[in-house]
């Protein structure tokens, strides 16, 4: 899709839990400014593959290259150093802490004397959250008291605040209403324009077809399909998800209509 | 003010209120209770619970528990006593005592983070080990005749004012502020500062609130837990040398069941045993509730058996409140 070299190369990644083959020999690339949709049934291995890339899960074998350099992705901190930020499916928020404490968790802003700069963190959080949702209030409330949508907005804000080069979104709109979902779509466009590479896991076929440049389908831990989004229609994708193969007599849709 | 802070404040006011009720009740029932001298006595008696409670609070905040502090204080105190008996200078012996306490805390932390045992089991083991070592070292006998200097830390006071009486004997005008009380206030302020103003403190709350989320956010979860258990061990060591100094005797049997007082103080002060919720100021209030309850019941001549019953009821009542708070 473009002549640039990939920001992410995952080669032959394997992850097993005892007898369960969560990820089986999957290879996947991501280019700057590209949005790649990762699809598949529940349990297909999407979250595991993304957690491996974000350093949250150890992998059994395989290779990860970031901008051409092989890296050990052995902790979330490694991933962060590579410019990878993740919106986890579980959101990964500390429920008893407020929004600023969650947004800056693990990389708190400090004053000259090494103390927490709560005022600065609150200010920055307010800006970040308002840019996603202008109606965001109660920023200093513990996040356990917030709505699912608000919590998801905090998780999204955390992933984009720190100038990532690669953003992983594991079902980022699951708890969002229509207007917030539209906001996420807008956000993805903005990130793409900045040249950020995005992995988007979603069950919403319309979102995927509209936002993604390329789709990858997983089934039982294996990658069963990888196509430019203009080459497949929804039925093709469904067939990949359910049967693990394209419909008989399939040909790239872009060439057919041309 | 947010809803959460309000709830926290309500909880703290409830504890503070019961503290005031206790003081009023005991002042009415006992003439000797409400006096400056007794206030200092209560404070002094409360210091042990407070020191241990502060340390245990940090551990509970991370979602753990520390059952070993009562035994660790005995080990720290006896080590200090034995070293001084063997001719070490008092400050050195006591310093090593505190170090031994910290070491016990570090071992607790290692067992929890490296061997991945449940904190309850890890510190239950340390509770037995530390007590056993203390008894073994001393042959289960108290170590006495440690010299006047050994008693200074536990029995000395700032601003103590004495007056030569008519009969030539000194007469106390103002009992002074005991060193342990000053140290208690200092420790409470330092630990509260760490929890509120430093990132390690923020991580203590985060780990207790959601350990996996903290790990994913790049928090050093094991380091945070190590810090908590080491702090608890350090404060148990401090408690040990102060208690033995007060007795001017190293007692290997000292501090039995103190861990439960410490945990009770934390819980009465609003610390959730589930982790992630609690404050040092709350624990201080909790420590004084227990201290004043003990002192006031003593002054009213209530037998120690009845005292146990009453304090047991208070603990159940407050844990029930904690339970209600977390159910919603
Ligand atoms: N921590 C774990 N321990 C054991 N099995 C796991 C673990 N995480 C995921 N799995 C298994 O790996 C497979 C892939 O899961 P996952 O990546 O979460 O799927 P998806 O995100 O595509 O729904 C599933 O069979 C799941 O049960
Ligand atoms: Mg998933």
Tell me whether residues A56 and B216 touch, CB distance under 8 A: yes
**pLDDT of res. B1:** 44
CA–CA separation, B176 vs A143, rounded Å? 47
Which ligand is in closest contact with the Cα of A88? 2
A227-247 per-position pLDDT tens digit: 999 999 888 999 999 988 888
Give phi and psi for B295, each to the nearest 5. -60, -45
Say how many Å lie between the CA of residue A219 and the centre of ligand 1: 12
Predicted ipTM of the assembly: 0.91
Tell me whether residues B214 and A140 touch, CB distance under 8 A: no
Contact B296, B25 (CB under 8 A): yes
**pLDDT of res. B19:** 86
Q: Is residue B99 pLDDT above 60, yes or no?
A: yes
CA–CA separation, B183 vs B290, rounded Å? 19
**pLDDT of res. B3:** 53
The token pair at A254 is 């872009």
Please identify, by atom number, the ligand 1 atom nearest to the C-alpha of residue A201. Answer: 21
Supply the CATH number for residue B113's domain: 1.10.3470
Mean pLDDT confidence for B95-121: 98
Contact A195, A33 (CB under 8 A): yes
Tell me whether residues A75 and B217 touch, CB distance under 8 A: no
Residues of A in contact with B4 (CB under 8 A): 141-142, 145
Structural domains of chain A, ranges and CATH numbers in brackets: 8-255 (3.40.50.300)
The model's confidence at residue A1, banded by pLDDT at 50, 70 and 90, is very low
First to last CA, chain A: 18
Total structural domains within chain B: 1
Cβ–Cβ contacts within 10 Å for residue A69, how many?
Answer: 9
CA–CA separation, B153 vs B78, rounded Å? 15
A59-101 per-position pLDDT tens digit: 999 999 999 999 999 999 999 999 999 999 999 999 999 999 9
The chain B residue lying nearest A81, using CA atoms, is B218
Domain of residue B233, residue span = 3-327
Say how many Å lie between the CA of residue A53 and the centre of ligand 2: 14
The token pair at A194 is 């900045």
Strands of chain A, DSSP E: 8-17, 20-30, 35-39, 61-66, 69-70, 84-87, 166-170, 197-201, 214-219, 222-228
**Least CB-CB distance to B4: which of A105, A110, A145?**
A145
CA–CA separation, A10 vs B180, rounded Å? 60
Q: Is the pTM of this model over 0.95?
A: no
Q: Which of A15, A18, A19, A22 to mutate to test the pocket of ligand 1 (most atoms within 8 A of CB)?
A: A22
Q: Point out which residues pair with B86 in neighbouring strands.
A: none
Distance from the Cα of B189 to chain A's closest Cα (Å) equals: 15
Contact A187, A156 (CB under 8 A): yes
Mean pLDDT confidence for B259-263: 93
Of B118, B112, B194, B271, nearest to A96 by C-alpha is B271
Tell me whether residues B217 and A106 touch, CB distance under 8 A: yes
Give phi and psi for B319, each to the nearest 5. -65, -30
Which ligand is in closest contact with the Cα of A217? 1
């Amino acid at each position: 899709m473009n002549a640039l070299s990939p920001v992410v190369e995952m080669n032959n990644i394997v992850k097993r839990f005892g007898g369960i083959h969560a990820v089986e020999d999957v290879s996947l690339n991501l280019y700057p400014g590209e949005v790649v949709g990762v699809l598949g049934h529940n349990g297909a291995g999407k979250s595991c593959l993304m957690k491996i890339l974000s350093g949250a899960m150890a992998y059994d074998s395989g290779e990860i290259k970031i901008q051409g350099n092989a890296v050990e992705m052995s902790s979330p901190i490694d991933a962060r150093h590579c410019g990878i930020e993740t919106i986890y499916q579980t959101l990964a928020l500390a429920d008893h802490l407020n929004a600023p404490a969650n947004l800056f968790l693990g990389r708190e802003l400090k004053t000259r004397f090494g103390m927490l700069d709560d005022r600065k963190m609150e200010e920055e959080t307010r800006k970040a959250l308002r840019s996603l949702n202008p109606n965001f209030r109660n920023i200093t409330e513990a996040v356990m008291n917030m709505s699912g949508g608000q919590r998801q907005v905090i998780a999204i804000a955390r992933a984009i605040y720190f100038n990532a080069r690669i953003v992983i979104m594991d079902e980022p709109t699951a708890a969002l209403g229509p207007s917030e979902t539209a906001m996420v779509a807008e956000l993805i466009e903005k990130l793409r324009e900045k040249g950020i590479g995005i992995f988007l896991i979603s069950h919403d076929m319309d979102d995927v077809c509209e936002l993604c440049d390329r789709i990858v389908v997983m089934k039982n831990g294996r990658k069963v399909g990888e196509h430019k989004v203009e080459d497949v229609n929804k039925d093709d994708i469904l067939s990949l998800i359910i049967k693990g193969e394209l419909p008989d007599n399939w040909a790239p849709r872009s060439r057919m209509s041309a | 003010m947010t809803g959460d802070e309000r709830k926290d404040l309500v909880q703290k006011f409830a504890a503070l209120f019961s503290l005031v009720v206790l003081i009023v009740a005991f002042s009415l029932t006992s003439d000797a209770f409400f006096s400056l001298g007794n206030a200092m006595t209560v404070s002094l008696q409360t210091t042990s619970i407070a020191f241990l409670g502060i340390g245990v609070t940090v551990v509970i905040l991370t979602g753990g528990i520390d059952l070993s502090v009562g035994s660790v204080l005995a080990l720290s105190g006896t080590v200090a006593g034995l070293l001084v008996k063997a001719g070490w200078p008092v400050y050195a012996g006591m310093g090593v005592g505190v170090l031994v306490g910290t070491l016990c805390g570090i071992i607790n932390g290692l067992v929890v983070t490296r061997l991945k045992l449940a904190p309850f089991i890890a510190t239950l083991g340390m509770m037995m080990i530390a007590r056993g070592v203390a008894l073994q070292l001393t042959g289960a006998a108290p170590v006495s005749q440690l010299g006047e200097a050994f008693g200074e830390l536990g029995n000395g006071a700032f601003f103590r004012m004495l007056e030569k009486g008519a009969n030539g004997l000194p007469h106390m005008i103002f009992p002074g502020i005991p060193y342990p009380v000053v140290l208690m206030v200092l420790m409470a302020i330092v630990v509260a500062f760490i929890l509120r103003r430093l990132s390690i403190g923020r991580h203590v709350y985060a780990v207790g609130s959601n350990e996996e989320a903290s790990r994913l956010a790049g928090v050093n979860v094991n380091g945070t837990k190590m810090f908590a258990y080491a702090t608890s061990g350090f404060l148990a060591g401090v408690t040990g040398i102060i208690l033995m100094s007060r007795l001017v005797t190293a007692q290997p049997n000292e501090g039995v069941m103190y861990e439960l007082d410490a945990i009770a103080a934390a819980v009465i002060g609003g610390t959730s045993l589930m982790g992630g919720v609690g404050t040092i100021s709350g624990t201080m209030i909790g420590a004084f509730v227990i201290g004043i309850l003990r002192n006031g019941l003593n002054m009213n001549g209530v037998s120690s058996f009845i005292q146990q019953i009453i304090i047991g009821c208070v603990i159940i009542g407050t844990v029930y409140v904690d339970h209600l708070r977390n159910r919603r």
